[in-house]
Copies of this chain bind each other. A is one copy, B any other.
Amino acid sequence: MRRHKRKEELLHSQVEHMRSSVEAAVDCSERLAHSTLAERADWLRAVAEALDAADAELVPLADEETGLGEARLRGELLRTTDQLRFFADVVTEGSYLEVVIDNANPHLVPPTPDLRRYLRAIGPVAVYAASNFPFAFSVLGGDTASAIAAGCPVVVKAHPGHPRLSRRTYELARDALESAGAPPATLGLVEGFEAGVGLVQASGINAAAFTGSLAGGRALHDLAVARPAPIPFYGELGSLNPVVVTAAADQERGEALAQGLAQSFQLGHGQFCTKPGLVFVPTGSQLEKAINGFVSGDEGRLLTASITHQFRNGISALKAQAGIEVVAGGTDDSSAPTVLAIDIHDAINHPELLRTEVFGPVTLLVRYGSDDDLAAALDAVGGSLTATLHCTEDERLTGLVARLEKIAGRVLFAGWPTGVAVTWAQHHGGPWPATTSPFTSVGATSIRRFLRPVVYQDAPQTYLPAALLDANPLGIWRRVNGVWSAPDGRSGRE
């Protein structure tokens, strides 16, 4: 009884804390929306510096809670602070504002007014942290970095898989933000399932970003769009990341491909949203023959008890399917890496197999004989974050590449999908169920999720945001009267 009461009190205080965090975010949201590019760049760099300085504390803490290993976690922390600095650059460069200026044209019928468009902050954002990247997709991950870069206060829902790391990261970031002059409510942290469910429904929240399971993401998505005022929900959910190996590629370098695949699907114990989970190989492939030699027999440690449970159940369910063979691993009640295989006709007859993601170190080889079978199976896969082709230089597979582009957000050649570089061009998204929106959650353009356009019509210079002034004091690229115009005012048509 007492325990029950304590639990209720905790839950109540978590929900209360969520409410006050959202309120504080709302209160500072206009201050953030109208902060300067230089201010926000400073804030992001200050946070990066604070996290880097605390690596000796943060990395062991992360390892304790996740078991992902110090080397991987050290790299991930660097990636995270690089990402914060990258968004400082993106903000300063200013193209993300998408400024378009059309001067008035009194000679048209009807005459057109002076119109000046830019993107402004959407307002308070909810970010749901993921378990599998305790730095890069958690409290100070890409969603938070891009939202603050956009000028939005962020309320993060911590992942229960690494609560102490989440709190410590948050404290460091909050102090760094405050020292750098940001409003204290620029970043908030909430914990607990109920607080998370309430967060996406809180009327002060204007957008939500989520990285995690299809089931969890769908549930939050449904709450976000059912609100009296629906909000954009940016979910990065499930992905099979199909890989196609041509017969010629298998013949040329089947063993090397087996090694590459094995490394990729076992990376981080297979707990990457970009893990290659479905690999189309020619029947009788060298790859299949060689892969067992590259698969670790170690049970390893999965991130949470729930992931362990779901992984083991997932493997059992797959093994029970007609036509599935175990190529490597696959021991009952084990979390060891596993390779399964199936003939493509059995897969086409049970297309749900081509859409079943098991999170963790497992991949399914699909043995194909004809290009028609391969095409039919790819059409059944549905949306994915990535699609990969391994072929030889002299092959001309334009139709196949078009098919991969149709189902994926990133099309890779001769590589493996598990690395996601944070750059200007990166796109990390794809047709449902990979993501719930035509946006990316990694790279420069992920900032667009937290912005909305506003156009000023016939505004005196006095009232224009800096980005839209004739003098271009921010020194940014703008489209003026349909033509790209350099920061120094040179027209692109010169």
Tell me the A residues contacting B by CB distance below 8 Å: 30, 33-34, 75, 89, 93, 95, 98, 100-102, 110, 112-113, 115-117, 120, 122, 206, 221-222, 225-226, 229-232, 382-383, 393, 396-398, 401-402, 405-406, 408-415, 419, 421, 423-427, 429, 431-433, 436-440, 444-445, 451-460, 462-463, 477, 479, 481-482, 484, 486-487, 492
Known interface pairs A116-B425, A225-B225; A411-B459 also in contact (CB < 8 Å): yes
Chain B residues contacting A432 (CB-CB under 8 Å) are: 229-231
Given contacts A117-B425, A426-B455, 13 further A-B contacts (CB under 8 A): A34-B402, A100-B424, A112-B421, A115-B421, A206-B431, A225-B230, A232-B437, A232-B438, A396-B462, A412-B458, A438-B451, A445-B453, A487-B492
B484 and A414 contact, CB distance less than 8 A: no
User: 29 A–B contact pairs at CB < 8 A?
Assistant: A33-B406, A34-B402, A95-B479, A95-B484, A98-B445, A100-B425, A102-B421, A110-B419, A112-B423, A113-B419, A113-B421, A117-B425, A117-B445, A393-B460, A397-B463, A398-B463, A405-B454, A410-B455, A411-B455, A412-B457, A413-B456, A413-B457, A415-B457, A424-B481, A425-B479, A431-B452, A477-B484, A484-B484, A484-B486
Known interface pairs A112-B423, A413-B463, A454-B408; A226-B232 also in contact (CB < 8 Å): no
Chain B residues contacting A34 (CB-CB under 8 Å) are: 402
Point out which of A405, A419, A425, A437 has the most chain B C-beta atoms below 10 A from its C-beta. A425
> Which residue of the partner chain, among B33, B93, B457, contacts A482 with CB atoms under 8 Å?
B93
B225 and A424 contact, CB distance less than 8 A: no
- Docked complex Cα distance between A112 and B89 (Å): 18
Chain B residues contacting A455 (CB-CB under 8 Å) are: 409-411, 425-427
- Docked complex Cα distance between A76 and B94 (Å): 37
Chain B residues contacting A120 (CB-CB under 8 Å) are: 405
B232 and A115 contact, CB distance less than 8 A: no
Chain B residues contacting A426 (CB-CB under 8 Å) are: 102, 115, 117, 455
Chain B residues contacting A117 (CB-CB under 8 Å) are: 425-427, 445
A206's nearest neighbour on chain B, judged by CB, is B431
- Docked complex Cα distance between A458 and B110 (Å): 49
> Which residue of the partner chain, among B122, B424, B459, contacts A102 with CB atoms under 8 Å?
B424
- Docked complex Cα distance between A402 and B93 (Å): 24
- Docked complex Cα distance between A229 and B407 (Å): 13
Chain B residues contacting A440 (CB-CB under 8 Å) are: 453
Chain B residues contacting A479 (CB-CB under 8 Å) are: 95, 424-425
A349 CB, nearest partner CB in chain B, Å: 20
A210 CB, nearest partner CB in chain B, Å: 14
Known interface pairs A405-B454, A409-B454, A425-B100; A492-B486 also in contact (CB < 8 Å): yes
A29 CB, nearest partner CB in chain B, Å: 9
Point out which of A95, A382, A402, A421 has the most chain B C-beta atoms below 10 A from its C-beta. A421
